Amino acid sequence: MTKFKFFIIIEIILLFLLSFSLLKNPFFLFVLVIGLFLAYLSMQIKAEVAQKVLRQIAAGFGIIALIMFVANGYTWLVLLFPVIVAIIFWRTTGTTYTSVNTQNHTTDNFERRAIFDNQSDNSVSRMSGNDVIDLAFTEFKSTGNDLSIKKASGNTKIIVPDDVAVILDVTAVSGVVKIFDDITRVNAEHVRYMSDDFGASDKRIRIMVKVLQGNVEVIKG
């Protein structure tokens, strides 16, 4: 389960607890129902004076209901939980270094993660943060490999060995896209690139990058 899905589940649980605590409060339900009824009644009566009086009374009941809603402890949990999670996520977000499908290659500077070991693990997906994708030790299939990188924000650098041919499909709504020394685009939204020898190369990979905000850089290395 990703962090984002876990956050959504917790937020839904808090919203459910908030709704349950409000609905089991008979005084809150009484105030809410009377306020809504008076507001509806004010729209049905044609007399302007009566309409004004009913709307003022309905507004008073609405204010009481709002005070009770704000005073509920679960309301503050629902509002503050996303803020706390965002602060924690921002403080812990850094650059993730990923070396694709490595075997017995270790580096003290970063953790290596095998992506192509199985069909269900061929992607990098996160909410935000910077990523460096190293393809130096990738085991290439005869049919070629596929890699998907998706995130909301953050910079992405992909290191491609000289003997590897690539097809790149980059979507970056806001940011700079730089592919080798051939393409540099700013806020281009969608950029495609294919190596000249892709069809004939023994080592080839199709890479799809989708990021809302962040720079994407592809270099030889």
Q: What pLDDT is recorded for position 120?
A: 42
Which helix (H) or strand (E) is 153 found in, with range? strand 145-153
Interhelix angle 48-71/73-92, nearest 10 degrees = 60
- The residue with tokens 């509806």 is 40
The dihedrals phi and psi of 46, each to the nearest 5 degrees, come to -90, -25
What confidence tens digit (pLDDT) does each residue in 104-147 have?
A: 333 333 333 444 444 445 778 777 778 888 888 778 888 888 88
> Which of the residues in the chain have pLDDT under 70?
1-4, 88-121, 188
Q: What pLDDT is recorded for position 119?
A: 42
Contact between residue 61 and residue 38 where contact means Cβ atoms under 8 Å apart: yes
Contact between residue 201 and residue 164 where contact means Cβ atoms under 8 Å apart: yes
Between CA 14 and CA 36 the distance in angstroms is: 25
